[in-house]
Amino acid sequence: VSVGNITVGGTGKTPFVAMLAEWAGENGIRAAILSRGYKGKTSHDFLVVSDGTKVLATSDDAGDEAVLLAKKVSSIPVLISKNRYLIGNLALRRFNPELLLLDDGYQHVSLHRDLDILLLDARRQFGNEWLLPRGPLREPLAGIERADLIVMTKCAVECNGNGMVDFLRKNFPGKPIFRSAHLPDQVIFPLDGRTYPPDFLSGKKVVAFAGLAHPDDFLDMVKGLGAHVIHFKAFSDHHSFTQDEIGKLASWKKVSEGDFLLTTEKDWVRIDGRVDVGADIAVLTIKVGLLSDSDTFFDTIKQGIVNSGVKKDEG
């Protein structure tokens, strides 16, 4: 099952793949995640980021997205390589999965897939509809035709994607269309293990920061939870943080009498091990929720497993 997008960055591939992997685990389906390990610096042809029992690689070697998946879905093996065929075969031999989840695989057309899931950002849609580098499109919109399932991400009351639905139904009739949302999950203080529900942020004075494709999405979520954001700093996607940068953010918190620093779980993967143990920093985790027809969506994936000829072990 391939999960990907037709625009650059920010549609929520990583949390969506995590959601699928969690669903597989909860339903007794053996799964493995195949990723290219974007921004990873490993010199090896492939890397096992997680064997389903522990994380075996750093974000420097494997990239932040692969390590985040390994941490979020700790019971699911995660493998990276530019050659997805190579790690697909490795995963089959070593972990015997029934379901291979191909992260960011929509344009990786050389590899067979039984289902292509296309994620579309309901907030930004297709931007100016130009191809890179003049616009956000990774390929022409005609590529939507390859999708078996279309999922509009980041749907909300004020941005429900109805215009996009009309476009899709007119130009790609018969394609199943689903809506999903990014939902706040937990507030975690990773250095001391404290964990709170999202409403813990209500009324808190925070210095927030994020290195994402669309950091404003994170800022909107934090404000929506009632936090008082006394300062917000946006970094580039996959930014490699330095101790000096974290120190400057901590100084802003101190001067402004803030309660703590707040960032995303993807950013924390790149920060972990680079800050003092006493740093007062929290992480807002998110989860993906399908807003309707979730049974139909997951039944389609189950049927894909059956159609592929994979049989679960008896007993």
Q: What is the pLDDT of residue 314?
A: 38
Print the SS3 string covering 94-154.
Answer: HHCCCEEEEECCCCCCCCCCCCEEEEEECCCCCCCCCECCCCCECCCHHHHHHCCEEEEEC
Which amino acid makes up residue 274?
R
All residue ranges of the chain with pLDDT < 50 are: 311-315
Give the whole-angstrom CA distance, residue 275 versus residue 243.
Answer: 6
Q: Write down the pLDDT at residue 313.
A: 44
CB 91 within 8 A of CB 97: yes
Residue 261: what are its φ and ψ, rounded to 5°?
Answer: -85, 150
Classify 256 in phi/psi space as left (phi over 0), alpha (psi -120 to 50) or beta. alpha
Query: What angle do the packed helices 13-26 and 64-72 form, to 10 degrees?
Result: 30
Distance CA 217, CA 207 (A): 16
Contacts of 113 (CB under 8 A, 6+ apart): 1, 2, 102, 105
**What phi and psi values does residue 217 have, to the nearest 5 degrees?**
-60, -40
CA atoms within 13 A on the CB side of 247: 5
Assess whether the previous peptide bond of 133 is cis (omega < 30° from 0): yes
pLDDT value, residue 274: 85
What span, in angstroms and rounded, lies between the C-alpha atoms of 247 and 236?
18
Q: Quote the tokens at residue 33.
A: 């995640």
Spatial separation of the C-alpha atoms in residues 125 and 243, rounded to whole Å: 36
| CB-count burial class (<10 Å; 0-12, 13-18, 19+) for 218 | buried
pLDDT at 315: 33
pLDDT of residue 292: 83
The alpha-helical segments, DSSP class H, found in the chain are 13-26, 59-62, 64-72, 84-95, 162-171, 215-224, 243-255, 265-271, 294-307
Coil, helix or strand for 235?
A: strand
Rounded Cα distance between 55 and 69, Å, is: 10
Q: Which two tokens stand for residue 206?
A: 């925070």
Q: What pLDDT does residue 310 have?
A: 56
**Residue/partner pairs of 257-260 with CB below 8 Å, 24 or more apart:** 257/205, 258/205, 258/206, 258/207, 258/230, 258/231, 259/204, 259/205, 259/206, 260/189, 260/204, 260/206, 260/207
Q: Is the pTM of this model over 0.85?
A: yes
| Domains observed in the chain | 2-182+289-307 (3.40.50.300), 185-286 (3.40.50)
State the pLDDT at residue 158. Answer: 57
